[in-house]
Amino acid sequence: MKSTIVKTLNNPFSEQRSQSRNPQQYFVRIQIPDNEEPETMLALTKDISDQGVAVLTYVPLPIGTRVLIERDNFCIASAEVADWEWDYDCDMARIGLKLIEKTENWPITC
């Protein structure tokens, strides 16, 4: 079956990965602390590396948006949206998050 992922932005850096990605799925919360009223959304991790996390969610975020990644009510990392694309197979946005800082609660685990 052919994948039907469409990139919304031509980002040449998104395909230049220096580390392998581990396909791991966990539910996490993505918090956007810079809004006047902080917004939180549920997301599903698609893959994880030491430098970033790809998540699936119903709402795409603008590139450059700073977020906090939470798991089990603990902040596990701060990150920045590096890219996003719409995945028509699951009808969700796949958001690439570049990790800025990991907390003592990292890594994401069951």
User: Is this model's pTM higher than 0.85 or not?
Assistant: no
- Assign domain 5-9+23-102 to its CATH architecture: Beta Barrel (2.40)
Nearest to 56 by CA among 77, 71, 72, 42: 42
Handedness of CA 107, 103, 18, 90 (dihedral sign): positive
Task: Dump pLDDT digits (tens) for 12-52.
Answer: 444 555 556 667 789 999 999 876 777 899 999 999 998 99
Record the tokens describing residue 46, joined without a space: 């698609």
User: Measured in Å, how far apart are the chain's first and last C-alpha atoms?
Assistant: 30
